[in-house]
Structure 1
């Protein structure tokens, strides 16, 4: 009997271990896209986005909820304590020194609590570490162009939304594109963003990046994806009639898969309209 129970326990432990391993493997591949009924942020896949979520959930939300409840309690107290029936003769009090000091000092302290971590987060977003690769993103009405460095082949390609009739199983309506950008996992990617016409905004929530694409100006941001997966974003500036049809799709893959994709992409995108894009500017005149 003892041996039988030991076998059962060992089998259960082995099964739990297998489930944990499968769960961990699945956790390495993330889908950075909204789902029906979802509330809150998309899955974070960078340290920056994880810190943004921490700042929102652990700092801003408690402060917001606390101030809202305090104001609600004060309003209820004022209605109860200082209504006409309770105070038929109105008070002529004009000043209260301690109260005036309190409502000046307390908000200042709240702002300090918010400011200190926000400055750290801003510096983390704006100070770009030495990149492993640079991805050039050119915005147009109404699509994106991705340019890869010469070290990776020096090619570029347009990325346009998939029409409903072209959607395949696994595609997401209004988010999937014909040519997605690919980047290797665990590498620092600098993103150089420009525009050919009007102001756009390159935004991928799971990476914690959102930066304007301005004509005549080069803006930079960066990310380092922690896990493999497919991540979506959209242009987040109203840029014209087809603003809603300008999605972003980024595949984060292993270094080997990225090299394999590069080999195919070099052949597919090396020449566009007979022009060697590796030798030309990605910003069209």
Structure 2
């Protein structure tokens, strides 16, 4: 079962489906309104022996998968700092009806703002996964409401925990930029993401996700992945599909395989809860 509903319905629907005996439940991000609801969802699925997945498709975007492979193989050394900028653009983009927009603007149905909470879960996910972290230690933020009802522009800053006293400090930041007059075509939502990661031996830039495949993707200035190390600049991922739809396809196929093979999905309920904690 795929639960793709306003967020306040995730917990009760998950409990209902689990007790109905379905083989697997995929819940769209964010997992739930509260950590208590997340814990309840995890426990009821354990009690009923149901496989629970928190659906976060950015984890399966081909360019991000390649970037993770490079990072894990030491492409820029030990990872120190993560930065992501999400730009809210002017489109043209996928039409979103008023009903779908309205529930995302209501705290009781969305649980938070449409940018920081609803969309931001993707970015919090990348901030942990790409950096090889499970949690953060401290979080600070400044959030404006320029349009009176949308939580943008904003900036969030955090510190990753240190495993040893002599470890170098590791930080991350997330920016939401409002650019409603910017012509920037997208087949999906009217936004795009740009990531920068610095390490002890180099830097990595990851260009685009939501609007990947548009005219910016076809320029030489914005290749999928750029790595600077030891005085050299290298480009990766130019042969990869940059359309966001592949992230959904890959995520769904992964969950089907997890159910058939009895393996853990990405994300598990516990990992989905940790994203909500962030």
Task: Mark yes or no: TM-score above 0.5.
Answer: no
Structure showing greater Rg: 1
Kindly indicate which of the two structures has a greater share of residues assigned to helix: 1
TM-score normalised by length of structure 1: 0.21
